[in-house]
Amino acid sequence: MIGQKIGFIGGGNMARSLVGGLVHNGFPAGFLRVADINAETLATLQADFGVTTTQDNQEVIQHSDVVVFAVKPQVMKQVLEPLSALINRTQPLIMSIAAGVREQDISTWVGGKVAVVRGMPNTPALVGAGVTGLYANTHVSPDQRQVAGAIMDAVSITFWVDDEAKMDAVTAASGSGPAYFFLVMEAMEAAAVELGLKPEQARKMAIETAYGAAKMARESESSPAVLRANVTSEGGTTAAALDVFERHHLKGLFREAMQAAHHRSEELGELIGQPQSTCLIKYFRESVNGSQSRNECVELFAQYSD
């Protein structure tokens, strides 16, 4: 990947994490360029990592072999369209880490036959411990796939899916996944306090137990099911707790929750790519029990409008 010039449009938290990860891994800061509308954000990135910064998105396109779009999904279209002619002329690899924005929509907004990689990192990437699912369109070369993977490897483990529809499953599993584990830690903390532990003790115990279990699962050749069985003695305390989870169908709840996340990811992907009028009509038509208020629809419209 050395020799590739990498640009970022959007200098927020995820872009900062990627820049920091790349520099930490030995990638030359002089080959990195970041554009953002916030001068203070750019000054901090330049001071911390020595990268080139600009408020001109076109400058990033002109000087980059790979351009990572790290902007909010609701502004992706308005950021991309003014750059379309330049992108088609210079043909950089386009990487998007904007949640829910589909490759087809990116290609439509840019026009032409452009190499596009869509990435879905999760928030632990901000601390270098993320998981990222990647999808490449047919215009992405093997070398470009390697570069895209190496960029995301700076902050996460990465894997590729061969069908963009599977990115909705990635969103449900790893994209939303950290929140599931935070909820488990939150519940364990509250229960431990009720059992008499001090709040600070309960929180530390819940977090460190989660960390230790994840570390064991990551480093062991055994499956999580086997690891669970190994610490569960018949008639013991762990068995008593797991029996409660079983009686309340915990696995079924996880399945239902992830299916809900998957369905919502599909819906939002459709809404982002639609014009304003279609978005509003669809939202009114499909609102749950017709209970959403006009204000809620207008708010959604503002988030996912063109």
pLDDT of res. 298: 47
Tell me what pLDDT residue 270 has.
86
Q: How many residues does the chain have?
A: 306
Phi-psi region of 186 (alpha: psi -120 to 50; beta: other; left: phi over 0): alpha
Give the pair of three-digit tokens for residue 126.
């901000």
Task: Enter the tokens of residue 230.
Answer: 């190994």
52 closest CA partner among 83, 74, 19: 19
- Under 8 Å between Cβ of 103 and 164: yes
Tokens standing for residue 103: 């490759």
Topology given in CATH for the domain delimited by 6-175: Rossmann fold (3.40.50)
Q: CB-based contacts of 157: which residues, under 8 Å, 6+ apart?
A: 130, 131, 132
Contacts of 31 (CB under 8 A, 6+ apart): 3, 4, 5, 6
Spatial contact of 99 and 126, defined as CB atoms under 8 Å apart:
no
Contacts of 17 (CB under 8 A, 6+ apart): 125, 126, 127, 128, 155
> What φ, ψ does residue 156 adopt, rounded to 5°?
-160, 165
The parts of the chain modelled with pLDDT lower than 50 are 277-281, 284, 288, 290-291, 293-294, 297-298, 301, 303-306
Fold of 177-231: ProC C-terminal domain-like fold (1.10.3730)
Domain range list for the chain: 6-175, 177-231, 253-303
Which residue in 64, 68, 92 sits closest to 5, CA to CA? Answer: 64
What contacts 65, CB < 8 A, 6 or more positions away?
Answer: 4, 5, 6, 92, 93, 147
Segment holding 156, helix H or strand E: strand 156-160
Give the pLDDT of residue 295. 52
Q: What is the pLDDT of residues 101-118, one digit of tens each?
A: 999 999 999 998 999 999
As a whole number of angstroms, the longest Cα–Cα distance in the chain is 69
